[in-house]
Structure 1
Amino acid sequence: MVKRIKGVTFSTKVSPQFGNHMVSAARGVFNLFILDVHIFIEHKSGQYGGRSPGYGISLVVERTTGCLISADRACCYPITEHGTFDDFEEKAELLPPEDVGVHAAWMLLGEIENGGVVDSSHTRFFCFFFALYAHLMCLRFVWES
């Protein structure tokens, strides 16, 4: 069971309205299932916005068992080999912010449908630490005997 959904949209060097568009698109998907949805907007511009324009959304669902499952989606222009974005180059089309919000929402719903206590993006870390723990327990057993 899902307790609540929280998230944050982030945008740099693009219109501040991109965050609002992502929030409304994601809420449009989530409101069909749950009403306890809180998504915050973070916008940076000027010198605090970094070197290249981009935007995205990060969503986290809290289950009644206390497990946290997440999904992220971001769009940005590529940085050139010089480490900066050249305004003279032809800019590639980015995904609209509404599509980013909807895609992230459906990704999160897919993670919820999969079940479990670890989302698919963090499964490799879980397996690594589980194997490391098992290895340490074997070493401890050998050391004590």
Structure 2
Amino acid sequence: MADERSRPRFVSAAALAATLLCTTAACESSPSPESPGKDRPKTAWVEPASYAYTLTSLTQVLAGTFRVTVRDGRVAQAVGLDEDSRRQAQEQPDRIPTIGGLLKTLAEARSDGADTADAEYAADGRPVRISLDRDENSIDDEAQYTISSYEPTPG
């Protein structure tokens, strides 16, 4: 008989836990414009001709954090925000991409069948994180790009 009495309590405790879990999930705040969403963007983002953003790049070719200014669809200025990125911004300024260039790289990786070609998007549809790994069995082909502090600017 002791087993029969404990069973309803267990069911009640499980129901209470499930209710609390659902209530907690419902109370979470909605994502901010910077909060990323996975996969494809909910809205189409059109790259403006002029804007600024901060790029943190972890790749074999480009590593560091850069403040990038884009004018007329091209990188007009890139300032390294750490020792490595300052050197790279001076020695290899052509390697620093626009956000549109990053999206093109993502699309190419997807069409080429990369093992990883993922992006997370802000509410307005622009990417905030891009992860690439063309071949999971290859070393040093992974790339991680984080896009932050995005600001459209007058042309």
> Do the two structures share a fold, i.e. TM-score over 0.5?
no
| Bigger Cα Rg | 2
Higher share in strand? 2
Higher share in helix? 1
Q: Normalising by the residue count of structure 1, what TM-score does the alignment of the two structures yield?
A: 0.23
Q: Normalising by the residue count of structure 2, what TM-score does the alignment of the two structures yield?
A: 0.22
